[in-house]
Amino acid sequence: MRLKGPNARLVSLLYVAVTVSLLAQVGLGVKQEDFKTSEQVAFYRRHRAFADGVAKESRLLGKSASTQQAASPYSVLQDSVYLDGHTLVSSIQHGADKVPLKLSVSFLDKGIVRIRGQEAHPLLPRFDDTQKLVLRDGGANLKYASADSLQLTSETVNGETVHIVSFKDANHTASLRMTERPWTVEYVLNDKPSILLNSKGLFHFEHLREKPGADGEVDGADGAWEETFRSWTDTKPRGPESFGLDISFSGYEHVYGIPEHASSLSLKSTRGGGKEAYSQPYRLYNLDVFEHDLDSPMALYGSIPFMAAHNAESTVGVFWLNAAETWVDITREKSSTLGNLFRLGTSSKEPTVSTHWISESGVMDIFLLPGPSAADMYRQYADLVEQTPLPREFALGYHQCRWNYLDQEDVLTVDDKLQEHAIPYDVIWLDIEHTDGKRYFTWDSGKFPDPVAMQQKLAYNGHQLVTVVDPHIKRDTGYRIWKEANDKGYFVKNKEGSDNFQGWCWPGDSNWVDYLNPEAASWISRQFHLDKYNGSTPNLFVWNDMNEPSVFNGPEISMDKDIKHHGGWEHRDLHNIFGMLYHKATADGLRTRESPNKRPFVLSRAYFAGSQRYGAVWTGDNAANWEHLRASIPMVLSNNVAGMHFAGADVGGFFGNPTPELMTRWYQLGIWYPFFRAHAHIDTKRREPWVFGEPYLSHIRSAIRERYRLLPYWYTLFREASLTGMPLVRPVWMEFPQETSMFSEDSSFMVGSAIMVIPATDADTSMPIDVRLPTQENWYDIRSHAAYIGPLKRQFATDLATTLVFARGGSIIPTRERHRGSSELMRRDPITLYVYVSQTGTATGRLYLDDGETYNYQNGAFIERELSFENAKLTSRPSVRTASSPAQLEFLKAMSKVRVERIVIVGMRNPLAKAVVVENGQTRTIELSYAGHKLDSECTIRDPAVLVGNDWEVTLS
């Protein structure tokens, strides 16, 4: 039964008003007044006042900013320090509060250090489920250092007691040094202090307490027990419970990560940094920001509290495990290291990036990752939050989307047109208008009379369908989903905990499932099963939008912080993981809807650390302009830096109408996003690739085909990420860690280790492009194979048909060259290998293949080949992970006709006449042909006819 009469009319009018208000904002930019600044956040104000007080006291003491830790009021309690197995235990307290805090420093495998702190005897429990929901295996199986590898010593230096835990492994000679008065921690790597905690004296922990008198003031600051923003009041029944800590990176000038922000790759200073600095801290608080600003630390749709620091010697990281609202200030300075305090060397000036992290609630839980290389750091991070798993192979292809394809006929027309114009694609998407009145898991039967037949038609040529399923559930007693969830008590509750929390979103009056409740999460997962989701087939996948969560009539377009979740926890404690929990529930539902299970594909707008386990994300509602095109590069890179690898931006821009030139350039960049989707707002003009006519159609088609040509390389990169945690797209410094000129570079980037992309992002499409090729190495234009020797800095002429993409010398890149309509139709196509020779005449690479959809690869059903070129010989050998098993033998049989049809060796300088092929003891000779930028630079071996699953070698002579 649906609402009738006056109430229904009122609901409809309010819904229309909200919707019209939102749509009216299109083209007007973000409404800044809808979102808080740091000055409007009470817990940040209190910590800022505390920090300013510490700085003032330091000045009175004659201390410099770099040594102001002397003003910190927190000290270690006497005789409280001891080593308990792999954990250093201590108690610290504020000199005035006299409330002891229990602090534990745990030493993990690979040099990871974990620091946790909260009240020794809390008045109320603090929310501590973030670790269970984010860490690998809920944190239960973290690998700790052996107790006998740790040694605790204590000494007095300059009158101060210092406790030192020393340890050593294959990559580190390290120690952790903790001073007592004041409490500080210093992580010393290879005799250099690298990560410093409370070195600026900003640690401050608001202990839980009984509510005082009527004014509810704490330390003279307002907002401790109640806070109002515009028309919303946060009742704060638990009072103040925030904490903050300064974390400094000694010897570093650049820090990266903490997405999502429309900011530069190298994070900017937020205090005292000159004209380039921001006036606000970076904020981590998932929000639905309509037409967000650029070059801003403003919070957006996702939050990953992971930060990396890099210099020419090492890469280190910090993971701040907290799901509550968090602010991060960044300052830079030349400062003396604390080495003189600990007798570690001279007092010479070192560059330092100091960060100040402040979270509203929860337990202080911090991981220090020592590197020393980027690859080491990502292995350490993956030990904590897991790697990005192998996705469905189709998900790496091109996704065609808009809000909204009108009906079933429109969908099939787009499908036909893409095939007519020979444009490969894998997925068509449907936004909210495909449903029956915004009731998810339903179809508008007038527009989509036979969704199963539609999906079957798409699937015939290897194409999939994605439908949006948002987290808000329309409040309608006649709607099965709402009624079941309501009857079972699965909705998030209001602040009293007495009734469902209600808010407004696309359907009007809505409720939200409480994914913190395991029963509710399992229930929503089952709704994605084929017997529950009517009209769905195994070729239907899901898009989670609006899951920050977005609440149109809520504070900052989101949920009130004091409403209640399962277990009585307030929303403030888990806001930033709400979207991830829905993402997980959706992925679990798709994974388990078939037997045997198959890999899911789910796109989510909101995310947190750990979201990489469940699917892809995108940068949100961007705009069709050149500035947003440029901004997408550091945004996607920052997500990859923070471990959220399967990320992309809406090609063409969500809001507004792109020019044909902008659309072409965006496709030419978008093919290098890990997640490649074109999307558009409901009010925009149609913009499918053929709409723009020639020459734009040809340029766009060429770009999309290049993506498909390189799918074997992309899939192999995902395999690498699933094993090592390394990003798919990488800042240039990650591959060239000593190239200091590239440390802040975010207009070019690496795709894996083998390809450098320098996108054209200027409205003047004839504008020359500045290119910097690092290191003493060969670089090859990936299409013409023209060779360049780095280091090189020069301008390249360009036009709309030109893209600047270079293959790195020393790389072997696998491709599939035959044009097909989808990735599924390419699965048995032969492979071409491009060997880009280094200055030393060598090259290496890898090729990984599996069935692209099941989990059989976990039982060995894959082909993984290590490719090597040296002394004019190309060899293919199985990886160390290859092992004979029934599943592996069955897969080899299925792939027994897939061969290498061509080998192209680029960069040879001495023409040779023939190639001798050896496979399974059989030898044959093939004549060579030459072409390329220089006549002798490109050697092609046509149809060596070796199988991808066999051992073989090809020798040039």
Catalytic residue annotation: 545, 621
Q: Evaluate whether 268 touches 330 at the Cβ level (below 8 Å).
A: yes
Distance CA 469, CA 441 (A): 7
Closest CA to 299 of 309, 311, 289: 289
Q: Evaluate whether 473 touches 440 at the Cβ level (below 8 Å).
A: yes
Q: Evaluate whether 800 touches 664 at the Cβ level (below 8 Å).
A: yes
Residues in the chain: 957
Distances in whole angstroms, Cα of residue 399 to Cα of each of 172, 650, 950: 44, 10, 34
Inter-residue long-range contacts of 266-275, CB under 8 Å, 24+ positions, other chains counted: 266/743, 266/744, 266/746, 267/307, 267/330, 268/297, 268/330, 269/330, 269/331, 269/332, 270/297, 270/328, 270/329, 270/330, 270/331, 271/329, 271/330, 271/331, 272/331, 273/330, 273/331, 273/332
Q: What does the CA dihedral 555, 558, 560, 563 come to, rounded to 10 degrees?
A: 170
Residue type, 232: W
Closest CA to 868 of 881, 857, 879: 879
Distance CA 362, CA 324 (A): 7
Is it true that the peptide bond before 122 is cis, omega within 30 degrees of 0?
no
Distances in whole angstroms, Cα of residue 292 to Cα of each of 25, 32, 112, 594: 11, 9, 36, 39
DSSP helix/strand/coil, 389: coil
Distance CA 915, CA 921 (A): 16
Distance CA 270, CA 278 (A): 5
Q: Using alpha carbons only, how large is the chain's radius of gyration in Å? A: 29
Going 418 to 424 to 430 to 434, the CA torsion angle's sign is positive
Q: Do the bridges between strand 74-76 and strand 87-94 make them parallel or antiparallel, or are there none, so unpaired? A: antiparallel
Q: Evaluate whether 660 touches 688 at the Cβ level (below 8 Å).
A: no
Q: What letter does residue 385 receive in the DSSP assignment? A: H
Q: Evaluate whether 949 touches 863 at the Cβ level (below 8 Å).
A: yes
Contacts of 471 (CB under 8 A, 6+ apart): 512, 513, 544, 546, 547, 549, 579, 582
Which residues, in sequence order, are bridge partners of residue 93?
75
Q: Evaluate whether 27 touches 656 at the Cβ level (below 8 Å).
A: yes
Q: How far is CA 727 from the centre of its chain?
A: 9
Token look-up 């800044």 returns 32
Q: How far is CA 881 from the centre of its chain?
A: 27
Distance CA 778, CA 909 (A): 13
**HSE (side-chain half, CA atoms, 13 Å) at 914:** 7
Q: Which tokens go with 758?
A: 């320098």
Q: Which tokens go with 143?
A: 């690998």
Which residues, in sequence order, are bridge partners of residue 544?
604
Is it true that the peptide bond before 791 is cis, omega within 30 degrees of 0?
yes
Distance CA 649, CA 680 (A): 11
